[in-house]
Amino acid sequence: MTGTLKVACVQVNAGPEIAPNLEAAGTLVRRARDAGADLIALPENVSMVVQGRAKVLERARPQDSHPAVPFFADLARETGATILAGSIAVLLEDGRIANRSLLFDPSGRLVATYDKIHMFDVDLPNGESYRESATFRPGERAVVAPVAAPGGRAGLGMTICYDVRFAYLYRALAKAGADILAVPAAFTVPTGQAHWHLLLRARAVETGCFVIAPAQTGTHDGGRRTYGHSLIVAPWGEILADAGEDVGIITADLDLALVDEARRMVPALRHDRSFEGPVPLAAELRQAGE
């Protein structure tokens, strides 16, 4: 694909109440559109960041009655931009929550949704502990969605935050037609400092895709802190824009021809081979001792 697509990542500091979060996000989306962005991406949990299962369940809504859905649909229609609402908490029929990303085209039509597949169940060295699986139902489907681009449509691979640690997902998205990989996130500070830039650049290099990663930043409900540093990364791994720690926007012009160029130079997506799995080490050691 050829042509240049101007993209923006919106970096926010969302609180526990939906209405003021949407208002703040809308202001930044309009600023991004005024800067010329045609594809505008927002972070994970863009409509609220709350600490604790009870608070999430209290504020989550079914998709058909969630206030963020008409808000971003109207905003896309108003601005004439494609908008990726990084994720919202959608209440499901079984009482659990989907961490769901939504893509709206410039007419305001909801064209794709993606539910976060990988759950962040970790205990960090600084004492922070997270159990997403206690509240959220993991998704089961990878999604590549079309987005308007010069000369046609580009493929947008939709992922969310912790997904970035699972390289096989991004390889599958690239093979299914993704030119751009979206990683809206609310990364913790310790893991962000250690791994955020590294992981996003690796996903770009491995797939030959652009990566856009809008992020939450600052201190939130219950003292939770997020890393910020929304990034836009080129297919060869260069960082095109980094938002640092402040609320705001970053933009970059994506030369879509660079996707094919990177894949020509290192055609790794065509070099997969099947192989036999290794013998588990414990079993191997047991056999050696017999």
Alpha-carbon span 213 to 211, nearest angstrom? 6
Alpha-carbon span 231 to 104, nearest angstrom? 21
How many other CB atoms are there within 10 angstroms of residue 127's CB atom? Answer: 6
Q: Catalytic residue among 6, 132, 161, 209, which?
A: 161
What does the H/E/C string look like for the chain? CCCEEEEEEEEECCCCCHHHHHHHHHHHHHHHHHCCCCEEECCCCCCCCCCCHHHHHHHCECHHHCCHHHHHHHHHHHHCCEEEEEEEEEECCCCCEEEEEEEECCCCCEEEEEECCCCCEEECCCCCEEEHHHCECCCCCCEEEEEEECCEEEEEEECCHHHHHCHHHHHHHHHCCCCEEECCECCEHHHHHHHHHHHHHHHHHHHCCEEEECEEEEECHHHCEEECCCEEECCCCCEEEECCCCCEEEEEEEECHHHHHHHHHCCHHHCCCCCCCCCCHHHHHHHHCC
Annotation marks residue 9 as catalytic: no
Annotation marks residue 140 as catalytic: no
Angle ∠(260,167,240) on CA atoms, nearest 5: 50
Q: Catalytic residue among 9, 116, 132, 209, which?
A: 116
Q: Catalytic residue among 6, 9, 44, 209, which?
A: 44
Annotation marks residue 209 as catalytic: no
Question: Which candidate, 201, 183, 184, 203, places its Cα nearest to that of 239?
Answer: 201
Q: Which residues are catalytic?
A: 44, 116, 161
